[in-house]
A and B are shown apart, each in its own frame.
Chain A
Amino acid sequence: MSNGPAGGVLVVLEQHDGELHRLSAEALAAGRMLAAKVGGRVECALLRAPGQAVALTGVPGRVHAVEHPLLAAYTSDGYTAALEQLIRTLTPSHVVLPHTYQVRDYAPALATRFRQVLLSDVTAIHDTETGPVFVRQLLQGKLNADYRATGAGPCFVSVQAGSFLAEDAATDAAEVVAFAPVLEAAQIRTRAGERFREAAHTVDLGSAAVIVSVGRGIGEEANIPLVQELADALGAELAASRPICDSGWVPMERQVGSSGQTVAPKLYLAVGISGAIQHLVGMKGSKCVIAINKDEHAPIFEVADFGVVGDLFEMVPELTKAVRAAR
């Protein structure tokens, strides 16, 4: 068993089937930034079954490999108990985790073991004379808040995706130190089954990540393939406003709007859609809206994050080409 120095920052890396979760690198970046402010070393922790290979490219310094057969698969009980033991051993001042689904599942319980709370989903860390301040978003991003840790134990922080830029891969290989927690099968109360994805039944625009949607501006049915090609290039689902579906140019089940489906993709690319209210209510939950329309006064621009006033017949093929080139 290897003891790290008291204080410092412990970054918990997340791995799935031997691959590091993409947010692990961002958590590491946050951890290093925090260490620069509070002092102390940055070390990492990784949970795995003994003998399990985990690619640690880009992870510098010491990695505490918490190893136990009961850690082969993730369980909240197993991870909480194992990490509790590691943290009690290492006594870091801060524990930084990526704000993943898995962390959300066990980290609050882990913090509770130390009578601490997790500062979750942190987007920035500011340095002040009296110590670091952690920025979180409140009220669905409508408000920012500064939090300060005031507890006696280690401070637990999880960081939001995209908030801390992952650094370039370090050249030094990680120094892996094994840590064997004491775990018993009876401690683990939940059992997880295989991961699965929903069978793609009919068209489920509701869960689509990217949607390219076409409206009246397309003019006639013969032009639909133009937009379909863009959707294919983006790996997107094709959707349409009601008049297009009414005309039968796009199947009815791909209609977005009050009489069709309600969608909330990461990207909603509206092509030739003016933005009637019936349509807007169906897509207002989209994270990012890009609109292409020849009418600069089209209401769709009011809900768009990015707008292009122009001829879709010029714009769409050009964009398809550019997207293909970027892939």
Chain B
Amino acid sequence: MRVAMLHCGGATAIGFLGRAGDACLLGTLILAEPEHFSGTEITLLLLAMLASAGLFLQRLWPILQTIHHAQPEQDFHLRPLGRRTAAFVWEVLLQGKVIRQRPLPGLAHAFVFWGFLAFALVSLNHVATGLRLGFLPPQSWAGRFYFDFAAVWALLVAVSIVGLFVRRFFVRPIWLGEHLSYESGVIAGLIFLLMVSYLGAFAVAPGGSAVKLLWWSHTAALLVFLPLIPHTKHLHLVLSPLTVFLKRDSFAQIPRLHGDEDFGLVAGKDVTQLIALQTYSCVECGRCTEHCPAATTGKVLNPKEVVLGLRSYLNTVGPASEVPLLAEARPDTAYAPTLSMEAVFGCTTCGSCEFQCPVGIQHVPVIVGLRRGAVNTGTWEDDYGTKLFLALEKHGNALGLSAAERDKFVTKQGFPIFDGTQEYCLWLGCMGGYDPKGREIIADFARVMHFLGTSFGVLKKERCTGDPARRLGNDLLFGTLADSGLKSLEAAKVQKIVAICPHCVRTIAEDWREYGIAPQIEHHSEFMARHRDRLPQQQGQSIVYHDPCYLGRYREQYDAPRQVVQQAGALVEAPRHRERSFCCGAGGGLAFLGEEHGERVSHVRAQELVATGADVVGTACPFCNTMFRDALHETERQPQLLDIAQLTARALPSQPPGGEP
């Protein structure tokens, strides 16, 4: 080894590997390059390059054409560039998301990525050398430095790719798919060959035939690798930086429909450029599926397969087609059975897939878009769904109860009707207005507001925000409800709204924008967190807090509810928490769609929460609460189930100060 260090050019690979760090820092290793290329060699190289580039474009070009011919993205703005740039830097350059969500493979991937970046210059010089155009002489100061620098990366890449290879072919996590991807193996082999042939050039004597052999094997690996990129999922190398940069504005954002012929994703002609770009960027890593509450409990839905199904549709049918996208609506189901109504209507819209996706695919608008296509055209026939829609059409609440029931509750509680003199409009929502448990939460939150001396009133008439209709893709119904909601808030001159339901908050704050500007709205967790200093500090009980999808991933409120919980006891974290929180199963209208197939999402989550050993399950969404109410019946232990408003209210004096009713 010592010898190897002294005679750098003749160092063995083993010797090099043993002291790579030291060697490079010292700059004692020099890359061996072939000194002469014959005319035949150059011709051969040029032909190979041409073939490689040709094969590369032969696949990439049609893909770009497909994306180009897809429906132009309307309402798309590059601004604000700051947010896009930030996402690009964090997700692409720093590989932040990949590393954070899957640390070990994430880091391995990051090394490969950074290694590739470092290698860009190396590869360019490598090919240029073969054309007698080399611009970075290995002996020069810059050459020595850069090639040694690249060598460190080459080593990291080689180790990482071996690790990833072992993971894929021996550990075989199910998220990567049931079938082994041999192309991934070939690619891994090529990358490994690229690195080894590069590193080997430090270990051979200059001028020898070994140098030429290494150079040509490196070149061959490079030129074989290039066309493989667009032919395989490694297309993400080219597309995903763009995809991440161009992502639609906000999380799980459902785009506006345009014109009289737009009903959502009905056929290929409705697929937009952004969606097409995203489907081609899919790297098939399976993070979306790994975190999907439907896929992991035995439902047909597999978000990765939805994206791949869409890609396969674009490849085989094309972007301008009238052929329906969903299997049930097609005369044959030859394309992708996973791209079906059954699949897309199994989605809770929890957004885990979209949050996890490392290449910027936005699954929720696609899945909701496919639902829109089916519902807006009346293709989707489901007894429960129809019942829900008719209940919303007729009664304005998802439960199909008479509006008089809400009036009774409001009267019984003595809630004042909002008349413009109060600070807040307390939005009851369907659960708060009609569900016995939701009513308890509202009543307790009202006590908290009384205690804090915050004035509030409720609307005389309140209809559903349209959340279940929105997520199920019923634009007509959603539009009607959003419109009537905006009108009643405006008529009552409401300035600030507070609600106990994250679905109401999200829908009013984001989805209603299509129809007008709603007053400012916040979730009761945010309200209580802001006033936590004035709320009693409780001791004793341990509380496991469950992040509702629509408060967490959708609204990025992780700390506010936790602050409220910490005020009420000792916070315990579930294994999956914050942005990795696992859905309760109610979202996306699924609370109203009848029995699930396979394991119940709520049961899986309830068991996880119970296993923490906490005394109390703390929720911040009435839908989560109602799902867990049933699910906790089945668990080994039945901890208390309380909303954060109830956790807070239980420590309040029974009579509010000031003697208000």
A interface with B by C-beta (< 8 Å) = 216, 242-243, 246-247, 252, 258-260, 262, 274-278, 280-281, 284, 299
Contacts and interface: CB of A to CB of B under 8 A. Distances in A.
A281 B436 contact: no
A278 B594 contact: no
A276 B437 contact: yes
Contacts of B633: 216, 243, 246-247
Contacts of B630: 242-243, 246, 276, 278
Given A246-B630, A246-B634, A276-B630, 14 more contacts: A243-B633, A243-B634, A258-B591, A258-B592, A258-B594, A259-B595, A274-B436, A275-B436, A276-B437, A277-B434, A277-B436, A277-B438, A278-B630, A280-B436
A247 B626 contact: no
B168 interface: no
24 contacts: A216-B633, A242-B630, A243-B630, A243-B634, A247-B633, A252-B595, A258-B594, A259-B384, A259-B594, A259-B595, A275-B436, A276-B435, A276-B437, A276-B626, A276-B629, A277-B399, A277-B434, A277-B436, A277-B437, A277-B626, A278-B626, A280-B436, A281-B399, A284-B401
Nearest to A262: B387
Nearest to A142: B404
Contacts of A246: 630, 633-634
Nearest to B629: A276
A247 B634 contact: yes
Contacts of B400: 281
A277 B440 CA distance: 13
Interface string B426-440: 000001001111100
Give the interface centre of B387, B399, B626 by most chain A CB atoms within 10 Å: B399
A216 B435 CA distance: 18
Nearest to B409: A302
Interface string B313-355: 0000000000000000000000000000000000000000000
A36 B531 CA distance: 74
Nearest to A274: B436
Nearest to A284: B401
B597 to A, nearest CB: 12
A199 to B, nearest CB: 21
A299 B592 contact: no
B41 to A, nearest CB: 72
Interface in B399-449: 399-401, 431, 434-438
Nearest to B436: A299
Nearest to A252: B595
Nearest to B383: A262
A242 B137 CA distance: 76
B507 to A, nearest CB: 20
Contacts of B384: 258-259
B594 A277 contact: no
Contacts of B437: 276-277
Give the interface centre of A258, A259, A276, A278 by most chain B CB atoms within 10 Å: A258
A301 to B, nearest CB: 11
A303 to B, nearest CB: 9
Interface residues of B, number: 20
The 5 closest A-B pairs by CB, nearest first: A299-B436, A277-B435, A243-B633, A259-B594, A259-B595
B77 to A, nearest CB: 41
B157 to A, nearest CB: 52
A11 to B, nearest CB: 38
A276 B436 contact: yes
B594 A281 contact: no
Nearest to A243: B633
Contacts of A252: 595
B646 to A, nearest CB: 15
A218 B614 CA distance: 27
A217 B437 CA distance: 17
Interface in B367-403: 384, 387, 399-401
A2 to B, nearest CB: 54
A243 to B, nearest CB: 4
A250 to B, nearest CB: 14
A299 B435 CA distance: 9
Interface in B14-58: none
Contacts of A258: 384, 399, 591-592, 594
Contacts of A259: 384, 594-595
Contacts of B387: 262
A262 B634 CA distance: 24
Nearest to B388: A258
A258 B397 CA distance: 14
Give the interface centre of B438, B591, B595, B626 by most chain A CB atoms within 10 Å: B595
Interface string B590-617: 0110110000000000000000000000
B401 A281 contact: yes
A259 B382 CA distance: 13
Contacts of B431: 277
A243 B630 CA distance: 6
Contacts of B629: 276
A302 to B, nearest CB: 8
Interface string B166-184: 0000000000000000000
Contacts of A275: 436
A280 B439 CA distance: 14
Give the interface centre of B431, B436, B438, B629 by most chain A CB atoms within 10 Å: B436
A275 B629 CA distance: 13
A259 B387 CA distance: 12
A252 B594 CA distance: 12
A291 to B, nearest CB: 13
A262 B387 CA distance: 11
A103 B195 CA distance: 93
Contacts of B436: 274-277, 280, 299
A277 B438 CA distance: 9
A284 B399 CA distance: 11
A278 B634 CA distance: 17
A218 to B, nearest CB: 12
A70 B20 CA distance: 110
Interface in B623-645: 626, 629-630, 633-634
Nearest to A246: B634
A259 B436 CA distance: 17
A148 to B, nearest CB: 31
Interface string B475-490: 0000000000000000
Nearest to A281: B399
Interface in B553-592: 591-592
Nearest to B594: A259
A278 B431 CA distance: 11
Contacts of A242: 630
B635 to A, nearest CB: 12
Contacts of B595: 252, 259-260
